[in-house]
Amino acid sequence: MAVDLLLGLQWGDEGKGKIVDVLTKNYDIIARFQGGPNAGHTLEFDGIKHVLHTIPSGIFHKNALNIVGNGVVIDPVIFKKELDNLKKFNIDIKSKLLISRKAHLILPTHRLLDAASETAKGKAKIGSTLKGIGPTYMDKTGRNGMRVGDLEFTDWKTKYRALADKHEAMIGFYNVDIQYDLDELEAEFYAAIEELKQLTFIDSEEYLFNAQKEGKKILAEGAQGSLLDIDFGTYPYVTSSNTTAAGACTGLGVAPNKIGGVFGIFKAYTTRVGSGPFPTELFDADGETMGRVGNEFGATTGRPRRCGWLDLVALKYAVQINGVTELMMMKGDVLSGFKTLKVCTAYQYKGKEIKHLPYNIEEGNVTPVYTKMKGWDKDLTKLSKSEELPDALNAYIDFLEQELQVPIKIVSVGPDRVQTIHR
Ligand code: GDP
Ligand code: IMO
Ligand code: MG
């Protein structure tokens, strides 16, 4: 049985949480493969809104198991808060949520290092979520990290102390003013570790291998988006993991020839939170409308998201890198009421028109070339059938399918589970 993937194709926040929740009824296992609490995945149903950071978005379904894969980085403190938020829903966490022993741990000092690095960068800061993601993945690739499996050994605190002491020295190296009380942070960390240790740790690659053999249906849930990929994103303004399809293989231990459907999810426009280039960014009333109607505020940090028109050059690139087999278009409802819509189909770069992402895409060195399309007025949020979609929206969808050469199978028209149209 093949493993399907669901990935964000832009700069994150495409609506992955919502769609994983919608699709979970078709799967036995939902497995997160990278990122950590920098993610904020929002789910809405029965009038309640949930934001998950590390826990996979299938957690509210009785039929599915949820796995936090080896490629994920876990902050026990944030994880504990997520678990606390779930307590009132009576989910059997011990049997429904399994954690890879190979997942790395975010220590309090990783968060401090993130803050010190960002402060030292000044204007050139990445705009990180300050969750310690970069420093934790640095320790992973630097072969210094602590893993969930270490907690099963009695000497884990010795390992922790050595690493935290080293981090403190490194914080000093940045020579910036970071205020903290490590004793307090450590007390909170130790308490959270005790709670984490109550959960079920597994060798997830082995578990998933056996699950496949038994014919179980598995959906891998990505975090962030392709343009934040450490290799293929808008480096250095990226996150520190592979957010693209290959990241699911390394982040879960699934062989490439076992990957089935690759579901690519994108907003009908574009948003970005944090620093870095964004060619179609709008600074006018249209951008302001998208932000307001789309309620574009970060689910993790609350920061306002930058908004702009759909960038097909970037989207095509993401479709290509991931080998997307099906597309899902989110937030079509937010564009209702625009008289004219614009879609970027090329960049003007060094006096030439190009149709790919250049190496050094930087703030201001590419100018989008737009195709204009007719907008629609109809409120989409109450629709449930594809036949009800307005003609102008169908024309928009047809145009994107033509350009991307991949079918759009889901059109999302609101944040709720039920506001989802299958085509
Ligand atoms: P994720 O990180 O990819 O899971 O996305 P986020 O949860 O960070 O951001 C997506 C936001 O858009 C959330 O607030 C969702 O509730 C909301 N959302 C998802 N799909 C739709 C949609 O089709 N229309 C509208 N208006 N909101 C949506
Ligand atoms: P989800 O899964 C949007 C951005 C940050 C920053 C950059 C690096 O909800 O789509 P990091 O903390 O990872 O070192 O920050 O990446 N970023 C996200 N933007 N959605 C996310 O996750 C993000 N996770 C990180 O804003 O620009
Ligand atoms: Mg998000």
Best CA proximity match to 410, nearest among 293, 320, 331 = 331
Confidence band (pLDDT; 50, 70, 90) for 121? very high
pLDDT tier at 1, thresholds 50, 70, 90 = confident
Region 62-70: mean pLDDT is 97
pLDDT at 25: 97
Which residues approach ligand 2 with their CB closer than 6 A? 8, 11-13, 35, 38-41, 126-129, 131, 133-134, 223-225, 228, 239-240, 273-274, 299
| Distance in Å, CA 310 to ligand 3 centroid | 18
The answer, yes or no, to whether the previous bond of 368 is cis (omega within 30 of 0) is no
Q: Which residues are catalytic?
A: 13, 41
How far, in Å, from the CA of 243 to the mean position of ligand 2? Answer: 11
pLDDT, residue 132, reads: 98
pLDDT at 32: 98
Task: Tell me the best of 129, 226, 272, 331 to mutate to test the pocket of ligand 1, counting ligand atoms within 8 Å of each CB and taking the most.
Answer: 331
Q: Please say if the pLDDT value at position 318 is more than 90.
A: yes
Write down the pLDDT at residue 233: 97
Of the candidates 208, 43, 228, which has an alpha carbon nearest to the alpha carbon of residue 127? 228
Q: Which residues line ligand 1 (CB under 6 A)?
A: 8, 12-18, 39-42, 44, 294, 299, 330-331, 333-334, 412-415
pLDDT at 68: 98
- Is a pLDDT exceeding 90 seen at residue 100? yes
> What pLDDT shows up at residue 314?
98
Q: What ligand is nearest to the CA atom of residue 222?
A: 2
Does residue 300 register a pLDDT over 90? no
Residue 361 has pLDDT above 90, yes or no: no
Write down the mean pLDDT value for the chain: 97
Q: What is the pTM of this model?
A: 0.97
Give the percent of the chain with pLDDT over 70. 100
Confidence of residue 161 (pLDDT cuts 50, 70, 90): very high
Residues with CB under 5 A from ligand 3 (ion): 13, 40, 299
Torsion of CA 150, 156, 160, 162, to 10 degrees: -110
DSSP 81-114: HHHHHHGGG---HHHHEEEETTPEEPPHHHHHHH
Query: To which residue do tokens 């280039």 refer?
Result: 277
Residue 79 backbone zone (phi > 0: left; psi -120 to 50: alpha; other: beta): alpha
pLDDT (average), residues 324-349: 98
Q: For 219-271, how does the pLDDT look when each residue is reduced to its tens digit (9 = 90+)?
A: 999 999 999 999 999 999 999 999 999 999 999 999 999 999 999 999 999 99
The whole-number pLDDT of residue 333 equals 98
* CA of 45, nearest ligand number: 1
Tell me what pLDDT residue 235 has.
96
Checking if the pLDDT of 299 tops 90, the result is no
Cα 274 to middle of ligand 2, angstroms: 7
Question: In 3D, which of 5, 60, 1 has the Cα closest to residue 208?
Answer: 1
CA angle 310, 57, 252 (to 5 degrees): 95
The pLDDT value given to residue 301:
87
Answer yes or no: is pLDDT of 18 > 80: yes
pLDDT at residue 360 tops 90: no
Q: How far apart are CA 82 and CA 52, in angstroms?
A: 7
Q: Are strands 259-267 and 3-8 parallel, antiparallel or unpaired?
A: parallel
Which of 6, 13, 334 has most ligand 1 atoms within 8 Å of CB, for mutation?
Answer: 13
How much is the pLDDT for 363? 73
Distance 245 CA to ligand 2 centre (A): 17
Q: Whose CA is nearest to atom 6 of ligand 1?
A: 13
As a whole number, mean pLDDT of residues 67-85 equals 98
CA 255, 260, 263, 264 dihedral sign is: positive
Q: How far apart are CA 9 and CA 227, in angstroms?
A: 7
Give residue 324 CA to ligand 3 midpoint distance, Å: 20
Cβ-contact 31, 242 below 8 angstroms: no
Ligand 1, atom 21, residue with closest C-alpha:
415
Query: Residue 93 and residue 96: Cα distance in Å, rounded?
Result: 5
